[in-house]
Amino acid sequence: MLPIIIGIVLVVAIISAVAGIYNNMVTLRNRIDNAWQNIDTQLQRRNDLIPNLVETVKGYAAHEKETLDAVTSARNAAVSASTPDEKIAADNVLTGALRQLLAVAEAYPDLKANTNFSQLQSTLEDTENKISYARQSYNDCVLKYNNAIQTFPGNIFAGIFQFKERSGFEAAPETRDVPQVKF
């Protein structure tokens, strides 16, 4: 009778351990999805601000057509991106275009003094800070998840339950460059 009880306890312990590992992986995967939704919300907020910012700058710097067109094009690409990887790539391009636009705006004292532009710029900076925080949170979630599915014993069950590695949010190399302002 004792061997049967030990066998039952052992089976229950193994099932509990597997369920715990599986539930942890699901929880971590859901945290990644939630963190991505937070990024997506902030990106949409920024995308909604950009047309107003571009129109305000147009009034003062109409001859900066190339920069304004680049921002508009990058925003349209970001809005039409559908997968997280596409959105990450489009966001990197948009971030670079916005940096260029704000650098151009520095050359126009009347534009910098415009209340509407100042408010839009402040709101955009606030949104950029929120995007940065959301990216950091997303990357933290991806790190925890990837660690869980790549370390023992999670790696065994990740393969069985088909949990796939996720990619973190990386800045594109071109967004690290200082924008060049030419007149």
User: How high is the pLDDT of residue 74?
Assistant: 94
Q: pLDDT (tens digit, 9 = 90+) per residue, 108-121?
A: 888 888 888 889 99
User: How high is the pLDDT of residue 21?
Assistant: 96
Q: Determine phi and psi for 19, rounding to 5 degrees.
A: -65, -40
User: How high is the pLDDT of residue 111?
Assistant: 86
User: How high is the pLDDT of residue 123?
Assistant: 93
Cβ count within 10 A of residue 61: 18
Annotation: CATH topology of 2-166: de novo design (two linked rop proteins) (1.20.1440)
Domain residue ranges in the chain: 2-166
